[in-house]
Amino acid sequence: MSTAKIGIFWPGDYRSKPNELARPNAEEATVQLERALKKLGRKSYRIEGFLTRPHEAIEKLGPVDDPLIGVCVHWCYGPHTTDGVVGKDSPLLLASNFSGQWPGLVGLLNTGACLESLGRKFSRVWSDAKDWTADDAFMARLAEWCSTGRIGYSTEQIGYSVPISKEAHAHSRLVVEEIRKRRILALMLGDTSMGMINGYFGPRRLAPIGFSEHKVDQAWIIDRGRSISDDRLNRAMNFVKKSGVTFHWGEDGADDFDENATREQLRDYLTVLDLVSEFKADCVGWQYQLGLVPLRPPSDFAEGLLNSVCRPESNGDVIITSTEGDQGNLIPMELMKRLLKVKGLHQAVMFHDVRWGAEYQGQFLWVLLNSGSCGGYAMSGDPATLKGVHSYRQPAEYFPIPGGTFAGESQPGNITWARAYLKDNDLWMDVGQGEVVTLPEQIREQWWCGTTRQWPFMAADLGVSRETLMAHYLSNHIAVAYGDILEEMAALSQTLGFRVRFLGRSA
């Protein structure tokens, strides 16, 4: 890479409030980056302001042919980077502070996946040091990018094959036969959320792997919700109360979060349940935000119920629901559900963000934490109850209409995880194994409060190093199931036409 000046830009949120809150972090991280570049003898300049709309990326980044570094210190929409850099091959780097307070690494992982889905080459780098110039690994990687325009990371923990037993093949074939008899229909409530273009595959990608989609505008939720009777709402409310949910109505300044707010969330749940029945859908992708945020309560509570067997008007199955309309999680969640049932394991599959992580007693644990679609089984360990589920008001600065989350601490146990994504114009599936760990209360609360305390919490060893995941993983989302279905998931994915990667220390 030449000695050209390096442009630094801030990919941002669409909403002004998150950008305002993140501004001090963005300023601090940029100063750290500028100092690091100066130490390497490189000159840099800033591209003014957060990029908060696709057109701003087009107008501010499009004309720039210099190498670019995007500073990811909070949630940022993928198009606020991609739309300004696609069609060019100039060096591009995404840099993040490794912090749980603001989901910068989440933004980096999502933006990276968006770039990869469009075939735009980039590199990534991160640091959790107070002084980035004192972080030898960070500085070596930044120097490599400044010299070559790319950063190479070890692929030692990535494999492309795994022994698959006859039993696993047999379980996989049972699911394949199900899909061939009746392809899987996903009911999509709106499109992907918050610029997550990496999470939308569309009919041309879905059809060859046995999936179809039917899109329903989210406006239907408002229209159809008017016909939900008071009797159904009363029965649903009695059910969730008796099933063990703890409601934190009116607590911690959430004066507007009351029983009526939860009733309205149950109205949306019942409305979507009716839509699933009408269209005979197998699973749901729910846009979540931003579309209905000013008009309806957040969909967290409804999504959590759909992903639980224990729910009002249950048919005895979970209805796999992927928040943020993310088909990259919806597909593995539905496939994992079917494999779990075939193996006689509980069918719930949890949706999470890869939010943050740290070492505890020599083991690196990820904090998996998402505002939407984690079902009650993770919190209770018992499919027949919702004990352990807590509902807190979603933070008012992001959700003006009051509504509760579907939160709790996840139970310990062995897990299989997966994620589907687009890379090199092919559909891929990442699979891995790990374990959920129970932390001492003080550590758990410290980590939970250092992220978002209102959301469901899972402390997990994903069986792969932090470096491998941060360097190679192509999403901020992950699908997690209790039990060992790794071989079955690999066999099923390959049969359906995915290219498969195994992320693990033994790969």
**137 and 183 part of one domain:** no
Q: Is the pTM of this model over 0.75?
A: yes
Residue 507: pLDDT over 80 = no
pLDDT above 80 (res 10): yes
Angle between helices 486-496 and 166-181 (to 10 degrees): 50
Q: Is residue 161 part of a domain?
A: no
Same domain membership, residue 177 and residue 134:
no
Say if 158 falls within a structural domain: no
Length of the chain: 507
Residue 131 in any domain: the answer is: yes
Per the CB < 8 A criterion, the answer to whether 429 and 501 are in contact is yes
Query: Based on the domain organization, do 302 and 358 belong to the same domain?
Result: yes
Res. 3: pLDDT tops 80: no
pLDDT digits (tens, 9 = 90+) for 355-383: 999 999 999 999 999 887 899 999 999 99
Tell whether 1 is covered by a domain: no
User: Is residue 154 in some structural domain?
Assistant: no
Environment class of 185 (CB within 10 Å of its CB; exposed 0-12, middle 13-18, buried 19+): middle
Which domain does 48 fall in, by range? 6-148
pLDDT level of residue 499 (50, 70, 90 thresholds): very high
Q: Are residues 135 and 216 in the same domain?
A: no
Distance CA 81, CA 108 (A): 11
Average of per-residue pLDDT across 160-182: 97
Residues 292 and 215 in one domain: yes
pLDDT at 480 over 70: yes
Tens of pLDDT, residue by residue over 237-265, are: 999 999 999 999 999 889 999 999 999 99
Residues 142, 250, single domain; the answer is no
Q: Give the span between the Cα atoms of 275 and 428, in whole angstroms.
A: 30
Residue 153 lies in a domain: no
Report the percent of the chain where pLDDT is more than 90.
93
pLDDT surpasses 70 at 270:
yes
Domain end, chosen from 148, 182, 206, is at: 148
Q: How far apart are CA 304 and CA 283, in angstroms?
A: 13
The confidence score (pLDDT) of residue 103 equals 83
What amino acid is encoded at 323 in this protein? T
Q: Looking at the structure, do residues 357 and 487 belong to the same domain, yes or no? A: yes
H or E segment and range at residue 357: strand 350-360
For residues 100 and 435, which has the higher predicted lDDT (pLDDT)?
Answer: 435
Two structure tokens written together for 497 = 């036409």
Name the domain boundary from 148, 182, 216: 148
Same domain, 237 and 277: yes
Average pLDDT over residues 217-229: 96
Contact yes or no for 404/300 (Cβ under 8 A):
yes
CATH number for position 297:
3.20.14.10
Q: pLDDT tier at 4 (50, 70, 90 boundaries)?
A: confident
List Cα–Cα distances, 434 to 331, 347, 356, 359, in angstroms.
20, 18, 16, 15
Q: Is residue 159 part of a domain?
A: no
User: What is the domain count for the chain?
Assistant: 2
- The C-alpha atoms of residue 305 and residue 313 are separated, in whole angstroms, by 11
Cβ(348)–Cβ(383) below 8 Å = yes
pLDDT digits (tens, 9 = 90+) for 377-429: 999 999 999 999 999 999 998 899 999 999 999 999 999 999 999 999 999 99
Q: Do 135 and 217 reside in the same domain of the chain?
A: no
Tokens found for residue 411:
């139970």
Mean pLDDT highest for which of 12-16, 100-104, 335-339? 335-339
Residue that terminates a domain, selected from 91, 121, 148 = 148
Q: Is residue 349 part of a domain?
A: yes
Confidence band (pLDDT; 50, 70, 90) for 227?
very high
For residues 333 and 319, give the distance between their C-alpha atoms in angstroms, rounded to a whole number: 10
Span 278-305, pLDDT tens digits? 999 999 999 988 889 999 999 999 999 9
Cα-based distances in Å from 252 to 17, 211, 255, 448:
21, 44, 8, 16
Where residue 181 falls among pLDDT bands split at 50, 70, 90?
very high
Q: Check residue 63 and give its pLDDT.
A: 97
What confidence score (pLDDT) does residue 307 get?
Answer: 98
Residues 123 and 202 in one domain: no
* Radius of gyration of the chain from its Cα atoms, rounded to whole angstroms: 22
Please report the DSSP string for 393-431 in residue order. Answer: BPPTTT-SS--B--B-BPPPEEEEEEEEEEETTEEEEEE
Q: What is the pLDDT of residue 444?
A: 97
CATH code for the domain in which residue 33 is found: 3.40.50.10940
Q: Is residue 136 domain-shared with residue 194, that is, in the same domain?
A: no
- The pLDDT confidence band at residue 506, using thresholds 50, 70 and 90, is confident
Given this model, what pLDDT does residue 2 score? 64
At 503, the pLDDT band (50, 70, 90 cuts) reads very high
Q: In which band, very low, low, confident or very high, does the pLDDT at 1 lie, cut at 50, 70 and 90?
A: low
pLDDT surpasses 80 at 139: yes
pLDDT value at residue 101: 83
Do residues 143 and 180 both lie within one domain? no
pLDDT value of residue 373: 83
